[in-house]
Amino acid sequence: MANLIRSAKSGNDWTQNELRAYNIHVVDQSFVEFFNQNQLPVPSVPPALRHFCETEDRRLAPDDATYALLHYLDLVQNPKEDLEAAVENFAFDLLEISSGKT
């Protein structure tokens, strides 16, 4: 085990070797075992995010902010070359809206 090579890489690129090198063990658990309860409480959604959560198609967005956020989500889910900033824009806007700053 001491001879395993430890190099920096994305979590998506990890193999069993990295898990062994860092002594990580993955254990399957049921929902109840993991959360130690049968049902989780319903999370409260900030009012500014309600439209985002309820609108499936950005063309049906009730306001410009919801439209923009859904547009960034579409770009993130279907990435195109030279649009890496879409992830940052989506994360920034999502955090800004959820903090109530817009």
Kindly state the average pLDDT of the residues 73-85. 80
Q: What is the pLDDT of residues 23-55, one digit of tens each?
A: 999 899 998 999 998 888 887 777 768 888 888
Domain count, the chain: 1
Classify residue 23: in a domain, yes or no: no
Classify residue 17: in a domain, yes or no: no
Max Cα-Cα span within the chain = 58
For 90, other C-beta atoms within 10 Å of its C-beta total 20
Classify residue 91: in a domain, yes or no: yes
Distance of alpha carbon 55 from alpha carbon 102, whole angstroms: 19
Strand residues in the chain grouped as ranges (E): none
> What pTM was estimated for this model as a whole?
0.52
What domain range includes position 83?
38-101
Looking at residue 29, what is its pLDDT? 94
pLDDT band at 81 (very low <50, low <70, confident <90, very high): confident
Classify residue 29: in a domain, yes or no: no
